[in-house]
Structures are given as C-alpha cells and as structure tokens.
Chain A
Amino acid sequence: MDSQIKKLSELMASKQISCVELTQKYIDAIENENNKINAYVNQTPDAAIEAAKRVDEKIASGETLLPLEGIPMTLKDNISTKGIETTCCSNILKNYYPIYNATVWETLKRQNAVLLGKTNMDEFAMGSSSETSCFGGALNPHDFSRVAGGSSGGVASAVGGNLAVYGLGSDTGGSIRQPASFCGLVGLKPTYGAVSRFGLIAYASSFDQIGPITTNVEDTALVYDAISVYDDKDSTCRGRVNEPVCKSLKNSIKGMKIGIAKEYFDGIRDDVNSAVQNAIKIYESLGAEIVYFDMPSLKYSLPVYYILACAEASSNLGRYDGIRYGYKTPHYSDRDEMVCKTRSEGFGKEVKRRILLGTYVLSAGYYDAYYKKAQNLRGTLVNAFDDAFTKCDTILAPTVPMTAFPLNFTAKDAVETYLTDICTVPVNIAGLPAVSIPCGFDNAGLPIGMQLIGNRFCESTILNAAYQYENAVGEKAFKSANMGVNLS
C-alpha cells in the first residue's frame, strides 16, 4: 500500500489537481454518500474550501508543501474545534462551540490540513460500536448491516468509505484500533504522553490518547510525526522523544524479536486466529525471531480497565451541570434539581451506567475492594509488560476477537460487549503504543485486524514492523470499499 497522503501531495505540487478540486471531490462524495454510513455528524465544507484555497495560493507562488498540507481529513467529534460545534455525540453537549482548538487540531490547521467535518462516535467515547451516539451509529463501509466499531467509528467509517484521506480518533480502551480493525484500516494508539490531550474532551484521563486512522502504515507514520509534539498545555505530554518514525519505517526487521503471549489468543474466533498465525509465518519469512511467553496477569485487564476508566469518567463528567455550556433542562425549581435533571436528560444510557459504576467503586466501603485493588493490578500489568519487553521488541496479538458485529449486537448484554475489548485494553492500562493493521478477511469478506504493541515511545519499532508486513503482503490484505472518492 503506497502512501495516499504522499501521492495526493505530489499530484497537487505537480499541478495535476488543485487542492480546491480535490477538496470538492470529497465534499461532493460526503454530500451524496454520507447517508449510507452516517460517518459525519457535522460537515464543514466552507472552512474546507477556504483552507484549500490557501494551499492553492501557496502552490501557485512556488512554495513547497508541508507533509499534510491540503490533505482532506476529519476529526472525531470529541476533539475541540474553535467555532465548530463539538458534541461528543451527546445531547448534553449539543450546541457547544469550543472557544479554543485542541492542540492536535491547532497543529494540523497550521499545516493547512483540510477539515471536512466532525465524525460520529459513541457518546463520550463510551462504547464499541458507535451506536451509543445521539446521532445513531456509524456503519461499516464494507457491509452496511454491520457496525464500523467504536468508539471512533465515524473516523473509521469515513476513511474506510473514502470520505476522508485520514482522521484523528481517540483511544481509551481500543477506540482507535478496534474500528480500524473492523473497517480494514491502520489505526495507531500512541504512547500515553506522546500526543497532547489538550482539547480532547475527557473520558478517562489516564488512558485517553489521540491517534490517526489511515488506509496504510506510511500515512499513519506521517500523521503521528506531525502530531507528536510537546505541549505546555498538557503536563503529561512530552511529545515524540525519539527521531521521526518515518525515518526508520522501511528498515529491515531481520532479527527483530516479535513476542507472542498466549493469553491474547484465548477465546478468539478461529478465523481471526488463523489470520494472525499466517502473519506470524510472514514475519518469520522476513527474518524476525518469534518469541513465545505467558502473561497471566492479562486476565485482569478488563475488570481493571472498566473499574478505573469508569471511576475517572464519573469524576470527569461531573462538569456537565448545565450552567456553563451544553444542554440545560427547561423545567426545575432549584439548582440541585436543575443539575440532576440536566444530567439525567442529557446523558444517554451507557454514559449513565458508567458514571454510576465509577461512583460506586469510588464510594466509601467499596474504594479498597475495587478502585485501590484495580490500581494495584494496574501496576502488576505494567510490570508484566516491562518484563515482556526484556524478551522481545514488539508483541503481536489480534486486535479484536471477532470481526465487525451486526447492528444492535451491543445493546443486549453490557458485560458481553465489554468482553470484546479484551485484546485492546491492556495497552491503555500500561500506557503503551499499539498499531492495528489489516491481516486478512473472514468468510463474509469482513476485514480482520492484528495489533503490534511496543514499549513506551517505541512507535518507530511497531510502525517499522507494521510497514514491513504490509509491504510483504501487498494489496491482498487491503480492500477498498465501493464508495466515496476513487483516487486510482
């Protein structure tokens, strides 16, 4: 898979297409086809054309374009955009217009990135199917009867449906990697602290991280290099502490140690398992060394994640009181009732459920048994990964135990739905980077994904390994959905 971003950039620089023409193609495609997949919840064509005109002026004056300049893209609707409605796909934030840009968008905007609009997601990023969105779910561009995944389902739906070249999502427990896997795309969850969270509307602050969803590994590397910068507005953000990942993307992986932890394969579907086993063979043929080990503590990941993420969410979402922004209930007698009714009417079911669980595990009498124990086990999991990375350079695992589920699947059983996150949450618990890449298809032709997990700030290692796999397999692992802008 060649870089689409580079290809488009070259076409613009050589004046084979203007940025306005390119942008208009996407605007038209969104206008005509977004109703098929519900990827965009807010379109920004005027601002997109304005940015495209600036790019065309730059080309006309002979200036060199920056890597992401003029490339039509999208942002998940929990990334703040000044003057552009940002709702987190929640009724409680409808009509909220941020007065500042998230740092990631400020950075890309300075490069004249062309924002086509904001994309669908699970309400407050809480979900695995985007169906908890107050706008209804985003659909899978490969099969409209299935979900795009979540919570960054709209980004994956838009990029997979050729309605954007790339997009930024956020990943708290798998919300970039899982939809990327379901839609046959590349999705990177960076190291905690590599990308600024300023302006990302918080779900669980010690887990949240912004990252790209693209059609190929090189595009992910280009976007990651652009957004991994130090930001004095986020005290946990150090930026990219190493060389740009693009520099080492095409290095040989001969001798690279790829770790396989058997716990990642417990209970995954056979076709997903065999796709990942085939990938292991390809890595062996590329000269990588496969190392097998156990990580028994992985079995605690899901309860640890749900306890801690919900605890953080219950605190973070305390700010929605109807006073300063967002929805406010029209009928109330005093302030307490106003806050209570505003929150009860504004939040959806899943958000309320998670706030209640978070409040429960933090309440007197339960704190030690749940919250404190989960934090301790978080430390145990961090140590387990530290130990694993003394044996290998990257860990290879399935991204999701299955392929894209049919619509309304997640509505039936909360716990069963949480179990689908089993392979993605460990990385967020330990603050590690992981990239999901396509590695085959199931019998129904739906994409299967696998993830490469790295040590902290070792994005270059996992993207190098991802690139070499993609290069070895070629077009076979990728299928373009039959919709949107055709760039070939």
Chain B
Amino acid sequence: MVTHEEILKIAKLAKLSVKEEELDELTKDMNEIIEFANTISKVGSDNSDFDNINNLSNAFREDVVVPSYDREEILKNAESRDDGYFLVKKRA
C-alpha cells in the first residue's frame, strides 16, 4: 500500500506539488496501478539481457562540426531572458 506520505515524497522527487484535496484520489489511483504492476513482481524471469532489446546497432555518424542553432532563436521560447541568457531567479 502506498501511503499519503509516500505520494508526497515521490511528488517532491518529481518536482510536482500535490494539493490536499487531490491526495485521496491520487493515492487510490496509484494503489490500483501499483497493484496491477505487482502482477509481475512475483513472476520468475529468465533474466534476459535487456541492454539491447531490439538487437539494433547504433547508427554512428562522423564527428563533423556543423552549424548549430541561432542563440536568439532559441531564446525566443523562454519567458525570461536577458543579454543572451536564460533568466532564472536566485535560490532563496
């Protein structure tokens, strides 16, 4: 069983805040989903190698310098920016 406290701890790790009124429903949902996930936790497995599930090899390219994106273009999507930088408030 996942408790309210655990939900709050996980939410903190995930940088999400959970409102008091959301907590009951979310805990119930999470418990249902985790119960469902538990169906595999007891299953024995053959410890298959999962490092490369699709037997794919990486498609490497030559390490060639190419033009990158324009800084001003990138910054246009930021809500706060200043003098070529993203603007972030100092930690309190």
Whether A356 touches B43, Cβ cut-off 8 Å, given contacts A336-B91, A415-B32, A415-B36, is no
* Chain B residues within 8 Å of chain A by Cβ, number: 54
* Contact call B15/A323, Cβ cutoff below 8 A: no
Determine whether the beta carbon of B14 is less than 8 Å from that of A300: no
Name the distance in Å between A440's Cβ and chain B's nearest Cβ: 31
Neighbouring B residues of A376 by C-beta, 8 Å: 45-48, 50
Q: Which residues 35-58 of B have a CB within 8 angstroms of A?
A: 36-41, 43, 45-50, 53-58
Interface residues in B4-42 (C-beta closer than 8 Å to A): 6-7, 10-11, 13-18, 26, 29-30, 32-34, 36-41
CA distance A328 to B79 in the complex (A): 7
The answer to whether B32 and A352 touch across the interface, beta carbons within 8 angstroms, is: no
When the two chains form their complex, are residues A328 and B80 in contact, meaning their CB atoms are under 8 A apart? yes
Note all chain B residues with C-beta closer than 8 A to A335.
Answer: 88-91
A386 to chain B, nearest CB (A): 9
Q: Contacts of A237 on B, CB cut-off 8 Å? A: 59
CB neighbours of A414 from chain B (8 A): 29, 32-33
Question: Given contacts A192-B54, A343-B16, A414-B29, is CB(A97)–CB(B46) below 8 Å?
Answer: no
Decide yes or no: A99 and B45 within 8 Å by CB, A363-B10, A375-B50 being known contacts.
no
Contact with A along B74-92 (1 / 0, CB 8 A): 1011111000001011111
B residues less than 8 Å from A99 (CB atoms): 69-70, 73-74, 76-77
Q: How far apart are B65's CB and chain A's nearest CB, in angstroms? A: 13
Q: Closest CB-CB distance, B77 to chain A, in whole Å?
A: 4
Quick one: given A376-B45, A376-B48, are A323 and B78 in contact (CB under 8 Å)?
yes
- B58 near A324: Cβ-Cβ < 8 Å: no
Docked pose: A377 CA to B90 CA in angstroms: 45
Q: Restricting to A367-387, which residues have a CB under 8 Å from any CB of B?
A: 369-370, 373-380, 382-383
Smallest CB-CB separation from A416: which chain B residue?
Answer: B32
Partner of A360, one of B30, B39, B41, B70: B30
Contact: A97 with B76, CB < 8 Å? yes
What mask results when residues 341 to 357 of chain A are scored 1 for a CB within 8 Å of chain B, else 0?
10110010000110111
- Are A334 and B92 in contact, CB atoms less than 8 angstroms apart? yes
B16 to chain A, nearest CB (A): 5
A1 to B37, CA, bound (A): 42
Question: Once bound together, how far apart are the Cα atoms of A206 and B38, in whole Å?
Answer: 22
10 A-B pairs with the lowest CB-CB distances in the bound complex, closest first = A379-B48, A334-B92, A431-B54, A325-B77, A232-B61, A376-B45, A375-B50, A328-B79, A359-B14, A344-B17
Q: Known A-B contacts: A238-B59, A334-B91, A360-B6. Give 16 more (CB < 8 A).
A: A193-B54, A232-B61, A234-B59, A318-B15, A325-B77, A335-B91, A343-B16, A356-B7, A373-B40, A377-B45, A379-B45, A379-B46, A382-B53, A414-B29, A418-B33, A456-B55
Enumerate 17 A-B pairs (CB-CB under 8 Å) in ascending A order.
A236-B58, A302-B36, A303-B39, A324-B78, A325-B78, A328-B79, A328-B80, A347-B16, A352-B16, A359-B10, A363-B13, A376-B46, A377-B45, A378-B53, A379-B47, A414-B29, A431-B56
